Each structure stands twice: as C-alpha cells, then as structure tokens.
Amino acid sequence: MSEPFWVKDDAGSYHITQPVSAADIVALAAQILEESVLKGESLEKPSEAAELFKTKLGLKEHEEFAVAWLDNRHRLICFEVLFTGTINSSSVYPREVVKRGLALNAGAVIIGHNHPSGVTNPSQSDIAITKRLKDALELVEIRLLDHLIIAGNAHVSLAERGEM
C-alpha cells in the first residue's frame, strides 16, 4: 500500500483507516516490534530475538538470511535481510557479513533465516555456515550470539541447542 493504512494517536494506540490484508497487518506488527527494540531495549534472550525474526521472515515464500546488528550492550542497531534465495536455499557469504558488521560498528549479531518448507530442523549446511560465520566474525571481534531458524510462527535457536 502506498499510503499509511493506520494512524497512531497520542495515547500510542493504532487505528486502521482502511481495509487491509493479513500481510499488511504483519508488516505493521514487524515495524512496531522493530521500533520498540530500536528504543534501546537489549535483545538478550533467544525468545526476544525470535519474535523479531518471526515477524520479518515467518511468512516469506523463499529463503531469506537476515542479521540483527547489535551494539556492545546488545541493543539493536538495525535489522537487515542480507541474502535472498530460492524456496529451499540461500547463499551466504561470510566476507559480506563481516564487511557489513564493520561498517555498522557492530559488537554482536544474531543471524537467522527462514525455512519456507515449515520445518525448523537445522540442516548440516545451516550448522556449517554458522561455524564459518562465527569464526569469521570472531576475527574482527563481533560476537555471534545465535542463529535462529524460522518456519512460520515456530523457531529453533542453535545457541539453545548447543550447535554453535
């Protein structure tokens, strides 16, 4: 939609001004969530980060690899989709991730990607790229806190599974 379909009043409530699709509502929810995190809240727990990733990636029909760039206190600098793939894969280039992290002066990152298949189980490729990214980021003193795999409204945290 080209013009806003919502209005925020002085009390902080949102009012829908015209008919909207479910995708529009999800996009607004993602925007609200990202704005609240950008107000200085730290992304400390995998569940907090997972909510952000789920709203951004959960309904995508193709794989997207995204990064939540954090400062040293784990406050969100920005959230970006760095790589877009097909329905079952996405190429990830550690050099580009490191380059972007340095440009943003990030102290830590949480990475994530979606599985449009609806299955959250990490593949061997998912585990391998996590290790490659962790090693590459450590060289420039950026901590990789987690790799989240999103499938619809479900997620798996590789940190919680001990696979990092």
Q: For 34-76, how does the pLDDT look when each residue is reduced to its tens digit (9 = 90+)?
A: 666 555 667 777 788 998 899 889 888 899 999 999 999 998 8
Here the tokens at position 130 are: 């996590």
Beta bridge partners of 52: none
Q: Write down the pTM of the prediction.
A: 0.78
Full set of structural domains in the chain with CATH? 6-157 (3.40.140.10)
Beta bridge partners of 149: 113, 156
The mean pLDDT value for 160-164 works out to 92
Q: What is the C-alpha separation between 106 and 58, in angstroms, rounded?
A: 25
The answer, yes or no, to whether residue 154 has pLDDT greater than 80, is: yes
What value does the CA radius of gyration of the chain take, rounded to a whole number of Å? Answer: 16
Percent of the chain residues topping a pLDDT of 90: 58
Do 107 and 71 contact (CB within 8 A), yes or no? yes
Here the tokens at position 161 are: 């599974």
pLDDT tens, residue by residue, 80-138: 999 988 877 789 999 999 999 999 999 999 999 999 999 999 999 999 999 999 999 99
What one-character DSSP code corresponds to residue 98? H
